Amino acid sequence: MHLAGQPSRPGGSSCGFVAAAAQLGSQNRQNKALVDKVDAQGKKFDFILYGDSITQLISRESKAEWAALFPPSKGWVAAALGVVGNDDEDLTWRIIAGSERPKLAPRCIALLIGSNDVNGRVPTATIKKYMDYLLQYLQGWLAAPLGVSGNDVEDLTWRIIGGSELPALAPRCIALLIGSNDVNSHTKLEDHISYLDYLVGYLQAAFPDTQLILWKLLPRQGLDMGPANQAYHALAKRRGLTWVACGRQLDADDPSILYDGTHPTPPTQTQLLRCLAPAVYRLVGKSMRRQATPLGTGGSAAPAPAPAAAGGPGGAAP
């Protein structure tokens, strides 16, 4: 498995132990079936023990003790998911690509893995690399920027309602940065805001517990974004959205900031994301600790500056 992408198969090549592919596949399928069953019931695991043959033995030979310690009769949803011969690389594949990760985040996860790495004389640095990668994956955020070039508010509304970009489970937070192309195409402001209001209303009805952020439109060379942003700010107040004005200081005439007068350069993107992040952290309820640098990026991450452009419902004036 290469860390830059998803692993392609079970059965890591880093250990001396070679297990029958059919056995590995069978045990992975059994684990997946158990995870799928809990997912289908809409339940959340209280506890998952991930591991190798030791965990597999626990699941087969210690059922009574497991049930006594984590009794289903008292509401426990717990599972020991092991595959014989697995190493760190195998377990990473099982969780990321082998469908042993449940849809709802478990309350607790324990990892009992690595004996086969030692048995296979895998270098310590390699073991650490895979464990770091797996832990970052398990601890990381499920977050994604979903954009389509040239889209306006009406296009985004279609993508969410009719284009299958609406997730099955409610996100904790959604931010909307859309509408620059409406201004550029001279859409009537009342129509522009009507489309946006409809989209916001749909999201609030679909996901009543999701926190919504409305992001002030970025400057655009040759265009006056003021009227649209004033209307956006009023909508945010009326709908109870969190208003963020990250990017209000950008110079659209400076190609080192907006390379074509519209789109931010990579350093500007970094500045914008670091401005947005505190509002997301606050709304989602996670601490503002700096995340570990992803493997393969090299270097160390600089601390994020303290932004002053993110507010509460309605936020600061545009």
Q: What is the DSSP string of 7-44?
A: --SSS-SSSS----HHHHHHHHHHHHHHHHHHHHTT--
Distance (Å, whole) CA 21 – CA 235: 57
CA torsion angle 8 146 252 228 (round to 10): 180
Domain ranges of the chain: 21-139, 153-313
**Residues 189-235 pLDDT 10s:** 999 999 999 999 999 999 999 999 999 999 999 999 999 999 999 99
Position 19, amino acid: A
Distance (Å, whole) CA 56 – CA 82: 4
Domain 21-139 has CATH 3.40.50.1110: yes
Closest CA to 48 of 70, 75, 74: 70
Prediction pTM value: 0.55
Cβ neighbours of residue 274 closer than 8 Å, sequence gap 6 or more: 304, 305, 307
The rounded mean pLDDT for the chain is 83
pLDDT of 18 above 90: no
Segment 175-179 long-range contacts (CB within 8 Å, at least 24 positions apart):
175/212, 175/213, 175/214, 175/215, 175/244, 175/276, 175/280, 176/200, 176/212, 176/213, 176/214, 176/215, 177/215, 177/217, 177/218, 178/151, 178/152, 178/153, 179/152, 179/153, 179/217, 179/228, 179/232
pLDDT of 49 above 90: yes
CA torsion angle 255 257 263 267 (round to 10): 130
**Confidence bin at 296 (pLDDT 50/70/90):** very low
- Largest pairwise CA distance in the chain: 72
pLDDT of 6 above 50: no
Q: Do domains 21-139 and 153-313 have the same CATH topology?
A: yes
Position 307, amino acid: P
Domain 153-313 has CATH 3.40.50.1110: yes
**Residues 111-164 pLDDT 10s:** 999 999 999 999 998 888 888 888 877 877 677 889 999 999 999 999 999 877
Residue 295's pLDDT is: 26
Distance (Å, whole) CA 150 – CA 126: 44
Distance (Å, whole) CA 42 – CA 39: 5
